[in-house]
Copies of this chain bind each other. A is one copy, B any other.
Amino acid sequence: MKPIQVGLLGIGTVGSGVFNVLSRNQEEIRRRAGRGIEIACVADLDTARARAIVGENARVVGDTREVIANPEIDIVVELIGGYGIAKQLVLEAIAAGKHVVTANKALLAVHGTEIFKAAAEKGVVVAYEAAVAGGIPIIKALREGLAANQIQWVAGIINGTTNFILSEMRDKGLDFDVVLKEAQALGYAEADPTFDIEGVDAAHKATIMSAIAFGIPVQFDKAYVEGITKLSAVDIRYAEQLGYRIKLLGIAKRRQGDATKRTPDGVELRVHPALVPAKRLIANVEGAMNAVVVHGDAVGTTLYYGKGAGSEPTASAVIADLVDITRLIEADPAHRVPPLAFQSHTLREAGQELPVLPMADVVTSYYLRIRVADEAGVLAKITGILAGAGISIDAVLQREADEVGGEGSTQTDLIILTHDTREGDMDAALAQIQGLPTVLASITRIRKEELNN
């Protein structure tokens, strides 16, 4: 049988990985897929570099439309990234009847609904294993491996740059700005790191996971996104003393409403730094590695760990999609795994049944660091306000004034860990506490996730 013909749009880091792995392992891949898979054509603005990578083994063109229009091409792999031209090209490839493989989380998190609809109408596949957690087959685990489960929550370290920075901050006791510069020098952070450090990249990936976990549409606009730029070394140290690590988590959680607590049914979709018990495996995921914890009602807690970025790890995911498509390319589309895990006619409408909840309705626990005057009655006042708001306290750590502010200091840090509470109630209590004359600086509030069930 003629090998499957693949066209690459963009041959940068990931594209060259796809080319290299497909070449190196072509025999092994053919033995698995039952048919060869070949890159026939590559489009890149830098045709010279593209030619240097593929040599005589594939046609190189400067115009992406040439790949899409080529009737020989079965599958188009989009590796350009972003929402702009990439969206246009993916829609054009679909319109031309090509199957599409993409690593573009931004595109799918924002325009996924439109893209999957277009693909369904044309009867083609849009596959995206590489869009979340790089080489870790987490999309396959969620869509297929855990198909028996009502998924209850997903929580992941899904951005390598921020995990590298947090690991370094903890290991070396350094502040964010210093480590960011180091990460940029080492190539772990981009020159403009905004999407990573502000949590946007993680939120794209969490949005995609929320859709396939719960059968809801991608709703990036409803995600809560908070990065790591405001974290300080002191909070990482206090967290450590309390038995926690701070990680940037992408969380998608199904929440059963509770009328007595004024919480509705819905989905929490949020990215923010979180204290995680140091004994959990995910708390021990270091450097640029990724890991996703999935909790299902039947299977319990499972975890998936690996490289979340890089040339060949991402290529591994792209090629797994190529193999999946190859197996079913001549089969009735009814036999395929639905793009968002659930048959498309059974997907919930945005906002129906399982709406993404506003942050005020999120339920989680908290780490609070409150800079206070070192005088009698302060703790009683603060815990009184929390109790009044129905927020129960798990632990309190009061530092010695000398330790915090130096010899003779009259200020100290009060560290409070709370039990689960509604974020809206916490906001209200914190506003009150912040107004106390004995509270001397902005309160630091970091969410805490036990990830235990």
With contact pairs A299-B135, A302-B135, A303-B306 given, residues A147 and B341 touching in the complex (Cβ less than 8 Å): no
Q: Bound complex: CA of A316 vs CA of B337, how far in Å?
A: 18
Q: Which of these, B34, B284, B301, B331, contacts A343 with CB under 8 Å?
A: B34
How many protomers of this protein does the assembly include? 2
Q: Report the minimum CB–CB distance from A154 to chain B (whole Å).
A: 14
Of the candidate stretches A49-57, A240-248, A318-326, the one touching chain B is A318-326
List which A84-142 residues lie within 8 A (CB) of chain B.
129, 135-137, 140-141
Q: Which of these, B34, B302, B336, contacts A334 with CB under 8 Å?
A: B34
Interface presence of A315 (CB below 8 A): yes
Q: Report the minimum CB–CB distance from A289 to chain B (whole Å).
A: 9
Interface presence of A17 (CB below 8 A): yes
List which A326-346 residues lie within 8 A (CB) of chain B.
327-328, 330-332, 334-338, 341-343, 346
List which A260-301 residues lie within 8 A (CB) of chain B.
281, 284-285, 296-301
A17 to chain B: which residues have CB within 8 Å?
298
Interface presence of A215 (CB below 8 A): yes
Interface presence of A403 (CB below 8 A): no
A388 to chain B: which residues have CB within 8 Å?
none
B298 touches A313 (CB 8 A): yes
Interface presence of A312 (CB below 8 A): yes
Q: Bound complex: CA of A38 vs CA of B267, how far in Å?
A: 29
With contact pairs A32-B338, A148-B21 given, residues A299 and B328 touching in the complex (Cβ less than 8 Å): no
A25 to chain B: which residues have CB within 8 Å?
148-150, 297-298
Q: Bound complex: CA of A259 vs CA of B306, how far in Å?
A: 33
25 contacts between A and B (CB under 8 A): A21-B148, A21-B298, A24-B150, A28-B215, A29-B147, A29-B148, A31-B342, A34-B343, A135-B302, A136-B302, A137-B140, A137-B141, A141-B145, A144-B324, A147-B319, A148-B323, A284-B284, A296-B316, A298-B315, A302-B305, A302-B306, A327-B337, A328-B331, A331-B331, A331-B335
| A-B pairs with lowest CB-CB distance, top 3 | A137-B145, A148-B319, A302-B306
